[in-house]
Protein backbone atom coordinates (compact mmCIF):
# COMPACT_ATOMS: atom_id res chain seq x y z
CA UNK A 1 0.00 0.00 0.00
CA UNK A 2 1.26 3.42 -0.84
CA UNK A 3 1.19 5.56 2.26
CA UNK A 4 2.19 9.18 2.28
CA UNK A 5 2.57 11.87 4.88
CA UNK A 6 0.35 14.88 4.72
CA UNK A 7 2.69 17.75 3.93
CA UNK A 8 0.70 20.00 6.26
CA UNK A 9 -0.03 18.05 9.48
CA UNK A 10 2.31 15.07 8.96
CA UNK A 11 -0.41 12.43 9.35
CA UNK A 12 0.11 9.19 7.47
CA UNK A 13 -2.66 8.56 4.98
CA UNK A 14 -3.16 5.60 2.65
CA UNK A 15 -5.29 7.79 0.41
CA UNK A 16 -3.17 10.88 -0.16
CA UNK A 17 -4.70 13.74 -2.07
CA UNK A 18 -2.38 15.57 -4.38
CA UNK A 19 -2.86 19.31 -4.50
CA UNK A 20 -3.53 20.47 -8.04
CA UNK A 21 -1.40 23.54 -7.45
CA UNK A 22 1.68 22.68 -5.35
CA UNK A 23 1.59 18.90 -6.14
CA UNK A 24 2.22 17.96 -2.48
CA UNK A 25 0.38 15.05 -0.82
CA UNK A 26 -2.25 15.90 1.78
CA UNK A 27 -4.75 14.09 3.98
CA UNK A 28 -8.48 14.49 3.34
CA UNK A 29 -8.61 17.32 5.85
CA UNK A 30 -5.92 19.39 4.21
CA UNK A 31 -6.36 18.60 0.53
CA UNK A 32 -7.89 21.98 -0.29
CA UNK A 33 -5.45 24.84 -1.01
CA UNK A 34 -7.14 26.94 1.70
CA UNK A 35 -6.68 24.14 4.25
CA UNK A 36 -2.93 23.67 3.83
CA UNK A 37 -2.04 27.30 3.18
CA UNK A 38 -0.98 26.34 -0.30
CA UNK A 39 2.12 28.17 -1.46
CA UNK A 40 0.38 28.70 -4.78
CA UNK A 41 -2.74 30.14 -3.18
CA UNK A 42 -1.39 33.69 -2.98
CA UNK A 43 -0.44 33.45 -6.64
CA UNK A 44 -3.92 32.18 -7.47
CA UNK A 45 -5.53 35.00 -5.53
CA UNK A 46 -3.27 37.56 -7.18
CA UNK A 47 -4.35 36.25 -10.55
CA UNK A 48 -8.02 36.44 -9.62
CA UNK A 49 -7.55 39.88 -8.12
CA UNK A 50 -5.89 41.03 -11.34
CA UNK A 51 -8.88 39.85 -13.32
CA UNK A 52 -11.23 41.70 -11.00
CA UNK A 53 -9.22 44.88 -11.32
CA UNK A 54 -9.37 44.60 -15.08
CA UNK A 55 -13.15 44.43 -14.95
CA UNK A 56 -13.32 47.48 -12.70
CA UNK A 57 -11.02 49.37 -15.06
CA UNK A 58 -13.28 48.49 -18.00
CA UNK A 59 -16.32 49.58 -16.02
CA UNK A 60 -14.59 52.88 -15.35
CA UNK A 61 -16.10 54.24 -18.56
CA UNK A 62 -19.33 54.65 -16.58
CA UNK A 63 -17.68 57.57 -14.80
CA UNK A 64 -17.70 59.61 -17.97
CA UNK A 65 -21.46 59.25 -18.20
CA UNK A 66 -21.81 60.55 -14.65
CA UNK A 67 -19.78 63.63 -15.50
CA UNK A 68 -21.86 64.20 -18.57
CA UNK A 69 -24.99 64.11 -16.43
CA UNK A 70 -23.49 66.67 -14.03
CA UNK A 71 -22.58 69.02 -16.82
CA UNK A 72 -25.94 68.43 -18.42
CA UNK A 73 -27.55 70.09 -15.42
CA UNK A 74 -25.77 73.32 -16.12
CA UNK A 75 -26.11 73.09 -19.87
ZN1 LIG B 1 -3.26 16.87 7.00
ZN1 LIG C 1 -1.25 23.14 -2.48
Q: What is the pLDDT of residue 68?
A: 64
Please, are residues 44 and 63 in contact by the beta-carbon 8 Å criterion? no
Number of domains in the chain: 2
Of residues 21, 1, 55, 23, the one with CA closest to residue 13: 1
Q: Categorize the per-residue pLDDT at 16 as very low, low, confident or very high, splitting at 50, 70 and 90.
A: very high
- Which pTM was predicted? 0.58
Q: Are residues 48 and 63 in the same domain?
A: yes
* CA of residue 39 to ligand 1 center, whole Å: 15
Ligand nearest to the CA of 41: 2
Q: Are residues 31 and 13 in the same domain?
A: yes
Q: Are residues 31 and 3 in the same domain?
A: yes
Q: Are residues 57 and 24 in the same domain?
A: no
pLDDT in tens, 21-63: 999 999 999 999 999 999 998 887 787 777 767 666 666 555 5
Q: What is the pLDDT of residue 1?
A: 61
Q: What is the pLDDT of residue 50?
A: 76
* CA of residue 34 to ligand 1 center, whole Å: 12
Q: What is the pLDDT of residue 42?
A: 82
Identify the helix (H) or strand (E) that includes residue 17. strand 17-18
What's the domain range around 35? Answer: 1-39
Amino acid sequence: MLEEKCAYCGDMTDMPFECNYCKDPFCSEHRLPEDHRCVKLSQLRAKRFGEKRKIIRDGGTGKKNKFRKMFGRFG
